[in-house]
Structure 1
Amino acid sequence: MAMGLFRVCLVVVTAIINHPLLFPRENATVPENEEEIIRKMQEHQEKLQMEQLRLEEEVSRLEAEEEVLWPVEEEDQQQQQPEAQTTWDLWSTLCMIFFLIIEVWRQDHQGGTFPECLGGDEDEVSGLEGPPLRGLPLPNRATLDHFYECCIRSATGDATRTREFVEGFVDDLLEALRSIYSRNTDMETEDFIGVGSMYENWQAERPLLCHLFVPFIPPEPYSFHPEFWCTSPSMPLEHQGYGQIKVTLADGNPIGCICDKTKLEDMVCLLHDNNIGAWPSSAESSELEGLLCSRESSYLDGMQVMKWFQVALTRAWHRISHKYEFDLSFGELDTPGSLKIRFRSGNSMPFILTPVIQCNDSDLYFMMSQLPKEPCGGAPASSTDWLLSFAVYERQFLQMTARTLPEGACHLSCLQIASFLLSKQTNHTGPSGLNDYHLKTALLHLLLSRQAADWKASQLDVRLQELFRFLERSLLEKKLYHFFVGNRRLSEAVGLPEAVRRAEPLNLFRPFVLQRTLYRNTVDFFYEMLKNAPMFISEYSVHVPSDRTSPPPKAVAL
């Protein structure tokens, strides 16, 4: 019995240690500076194997003694059996604890949180200096400067005119939407807010794409009450970064009729009979509540909202279409609010109008994520789950930081070049788990960690390599923390809600822990992108002068 228990314990410990969800082993590439740690772990493994052999010999010896002493009196056996059972239970427990301690120690050294992700001091980011771990060369500064001037700056030269045109048209479109607004059966839209790379001045690719938030509020007597994951302990782990929006009446009660809440003795409810229940049967109320929620929930339904928004935009466009010499149509079906202007010349101009809900009095907004699951960190399946967007805070942080940086700072140039390379590699090999938001998150961490003088224009090549090294380490450790969630080094002047500042850090690379194939493909994609970087840059550049002292580019001021 004791031997069986001991073996079962060893099997359990071995299964725990080798379980891929707890201790993934798919990191085939290990940084060179951890060779000493690997050597020590191998020594520990050898010691454990020797200890296992010693224990097996001890077990064999005890079994032999038991066979010799078998013909003992029954009373002595009954007295010794509890002692033996206790001894083996103790050995099993100690072995299990010993194995777990060793494995936890190993994980702390191999996969521990690196301080750069949370915005460490300058000394902490000094470990990123030097070439990428695989020694893949990136172009020198003269090449990057010339490439930036020839390709990226020229591609974004029309950004101001594009923004002005789109904003003017959207103003007219929303005004038409408000003119057909019904106070009793429609949402009320507010002024749009520009977000994303076009408004942060780092979009590198054509076509130039404006992304506009359109906040909306429900008509009276309804109100929205946001609930996001860090304020609701009951939300599951996969809902991190998301929230739900409860729809209530003005008195704070959930949607429903007063006959559900009050004893009606001599009165009859004109909206309900005994067979209908709590949902209003009047055409007006049913239409509005069907617009907000599904019939089984009191939470705002994103699919219902998108249906309303698309119908409202269509009606508004039909009202003003005679004033314009172009057509308006919906764009990508998997992107909510994607629209496209088609000119008679055949050219088109895409832009995105996203309906959002403001989170209390902050600059946080709930928005619908892309309809299909994204490669990295797919959205929850429920249509009542809304993605919490920090886009306004990101724009404000970049604006505040730009005021402290040297003139012509290279931070946006780094992000533009990295985004350009990511786009070209995606076109070449298909999508991966990396996207522009990961690039921007890495840059924000570096901006918080580096001195302002480190972002001089002459440091473009150094900072770009540092950005890629940061991403490389994040991929190897499967940890890239959200810049705002749980980042206590951020100044209170940023204005984040206290619940978000004090929440547990949100790992944007968490899906890599669970999806081995996605992780492996993303790592291969990343190194392939670095390998192809010189080719992409030379392909889109003309002859580069050999003078390395050529004037550096100036990033567009915020």
Structure 2
Amino acid sequence: SEESEGEDPSERDLARIYERRIQWSVQKLARRKRVVEELLHDLLRVCRECFLNSFFPVLQPAIGVGSACEGWSPQEEKDVVYCMFVPLKPPSGHTFHLELDTTKEMPQKGMCVRVELVCTCAREQLGNTTLCFLHHSEHKLRGNQEPSLLQTLCTGPYLDVQKIALWFQKFVTSAWVAVPQSHDYSMKVLPSRRSCKLKLKKASRKPLLVEIIFGIQQGNSDIFLSSQPTEALVPPSTTWLETYAVAEAMFFQHIARQAPRHSCYLKCLQLCARILVGTGFSHYTLKTVVMHLLTLIPIPGWCRRDFLLRLDDVMRYLSCCVKEKRLNHFFFGNEDVPQEISLPPDFRTAQPINLFQNLAQDSDAHAVALHEFNEL
């Protein structure tokens, strides 16, 4: 066939064996992602109906982020977590102001979300029944209106991650029966201080794990602040960490729109992620390598027949990065980021950030990384 022309038969057989072993996994991830997306759509609809006349944050449509929602995963099926990112907007009569958190040095940019009341008197004059929090007495407000966001989910003037997580967990527990999926799935809210983790079970099938993360958009960009901590840092409850997860999800959607049928980039991610399990190389390192390669190698070069070639490219690129002690963050100072991904202006003009800075600064860590890669 045209697809196999010019290939060595043994290589072609090996590629098919690899593909058969991981194709089911990529397809199953896509199917379960659709189930999670439908669930979140219905859950957030019920939430908006419940809090229509209150002053809690306005929940925006959920965005699937992280490896499982991108179509690959380093984890076994039973451990896969589908992360859904829910942006928050201020309710009527409130506004959000982002302030850089300078209280302590952190490896990742942290910000506080100051909540301020704004005058709504003009809307009252147009017939809006909401009372202005700034220009009505506390007595009148208390008797006629739900409390402001400052009185419910803030600590001082700042939006509190932990209070939001607890509020949403309680809502899900009480409102689950109103969600259509409750007829098919049992649901359990798992302990979490900064997100809402759900375990869904349907008859004899494997459980479905979902984590709902809350976020605040930076301007009109695809860069957000996230309620989720990192493995290395759990910040104070009023600090939100900068995240690139939504921009990464947008990038993979951009690639999917251009990729040929039966393209192999997700299969490459899936297989390499499994190879790197147990090593010091994180799945975020792998994802960054593949994102760079997807902008360097033309998209038609990621078709099925090129599977082994692209696997080799991924490992060679990672090898070069380890030897040179440098792997650039994908979104800083990178001219190859697609224009349709909206970044803050200073991102495109910034100096590249080295994700392997620890290898450049620590010769022992570099020696360990070289040894681990050679062992692969």
TM bucket normalised to smaller: 0.7 to 0.9
Secondary structure of 2:24's partner?
helix
Alignment of 1:232-311 (within 5 A): 238-250=106-118, 288-295=149-156, 298-311=157-170
Q: 1:492 to 1:303 in 2, by over 3 A?
A: same
Q: How does 1:148-547 map to 2 (within 5 A)?
A: 148-181=18-51, 183-203=53-73, 205-207=76-78, 209-227=81-99, 238-250=106-118, 288-295=149-156, 298-320=157-179, 323-331=182-190, 333=192, 336-345=195-204, 347-370=206-229, 374=231, 378-379=232-233, 381-402=235-256, 404=258, 408-422=262-276, 425-426=277-278, 433-452=280-299, 454-511=301-358, 525-528=372-375, 530=376
Contact in 2 for aligned 1:190/1:216 (Cα 8 Å) = yes
Once residues 105 and 357 of structure 2 are traced to their aligned partners in structure 1, the CA distance between those partners, rounded to angstroms, is 10
SS at 2:77 equivalent: coil
1:391 corresponds to which letter in structure 2? A
Q: CA deviation at 1:353?
A: 1.7
CA distance in 2, matches of 1:504, 1:487: 9
Cα distance in structure 2, aligned partners of 1:245 and 1:522: 38
Q: How does 1:22-101 map to 2 (within 5 A)?
A: none
| Higher relative contact order, structure no. (Cα contacts within 8 Å, ≥ 6 residues apart) | 1
Gaps in structure 2 of 5+ consecutive residues: 1-9, 120-132
* Per-residue Cα deviation, 1:10-55 (whole angstroms, up to 9, x for no partner): xxxxxxxxxxxxxxxxxxxxxxxxxxxxxxxxxxxxxxxxxxxxxx
Of 517-526 and 492-501, deviating more is 517-526
RMSD: 3.8
CA distance in 1, matches of 2:109, 2:143: 37
Cα distance in 1 for partners of 2:142, 2:315 equals 59
Cα separation, partners in 2 of 1:344 and 1:387, compared to 1, 3 Å? same
Judging changes above 3 Å, is the alpha-carbon distance between structure 1 residues 502 and 379 closer, same or farther for their aligned structure 2 residues? farther
Provide the C-alpha distance between the structure 1 equivalents of 2:20 and 2:90, rounded to a whole number of angstroms: 48
Query: Counterpart of 2:158 in 1: which secondary structure?
Result: coil
Identify, as 1 or 2, the structure richer in helix: 1
TM-score by length of 1: 0.54
1:444 is displaced (CA, Å) by 1.0
Residues in 2 aligned to 1:323 and 1:408: alpha-carbon distance in whole angstroms: 35
Q: How has the CA–CA distance of structure 1 residues 344 and 513 changed in structure 2, closer, same or farther, with 3 Å as cutoff?
A: same
Contact 2:269 2:290 in 1 (8 A): yes
Q: 1:513 to 1:159 in 2, by over 3 A?
A: same
Cα 1:176–1:473 shift into 2, 3 Å: same
* Amino acid paired to 1:464: L
The Cα of 1:284 is off from its aligned counterpart by 8.0
Cα distance between partner residues in 1 of 2:236 and 2:361:
20
| One-letter amino acid matched to 2:341 | V
- 1:347-376 Cα distance to aligned partner (Å, 9 max, x none): 311122222222222222221223xx51xx
* Displacement after TM superposition at 1:307 (Å): 1.8
Give the drift of 1:457: 3.2
Q: Which amino acid aligns with 1:172?
A: D
Helix, strand or coil at the partner of 1:458: helix
Q: Which runs of 5+ in 1 are unaligned?
A: 1-139, 252-256, 260-268, 272-279, 427-431, 531-558
Change over 3 Å in CA distance of 1:250–1:520 after alignment to 2: farther
The residue that corresponds to 2:123 in the other structure is none
The 3 A distance-change label for structure 1 pair 154 and 456 is closer
The alignment partner of 1:492 has SS state of coil
User: Can you list the C-alpha shifts for 1:164-194, whole angstroms capped at 9, x where unaligned?
Assistant: 3323332332222223216334222222222
Whole-angstrom distance in 1 between the partners of 2:143 and 2:319: 59
Identify which range, 476-485 or 508-517, moves more after superposition.
Answer: 508-517
| Cα offset, 1:227, TM superposition | 4.5
1:309–1:355 Cα contact (<8 Å) kept: no
Counterpart of 1:308 in 2: which secondary structure?
helix
Q: CA deviation at 1:144?
A: 4.6
SS at match of 2:159: coil
CA distance in 2: counterparts of 1:185 and 1:453, whole angstroms:
49
Aligned residues: 352
CA distance in 2, matches of 1:200, 1:323: 26
The CA distance in 1 between the partners of 2:357 and 2:224, in whole Å, is 23
Q: CA deviation at 1:340?
A: 0.9
Paired AA for residue 346 in structure 2: A
Change (3 A) 1:212 1:163: same
Distance 1:499 1:235 in 2: 23
Is the 1:369–1:379 contact (alpha carbons within 8 Å) kept by the matching residues of 2? no
Whole-Å separation in 2 of the counterparts to 1:475 and 1:248 = 47
Any idea what SS the aligned residue of 1:243 has?
A: strand
* CA pair 456-308 structure 1, distance change in 2 beyond 3 A: same
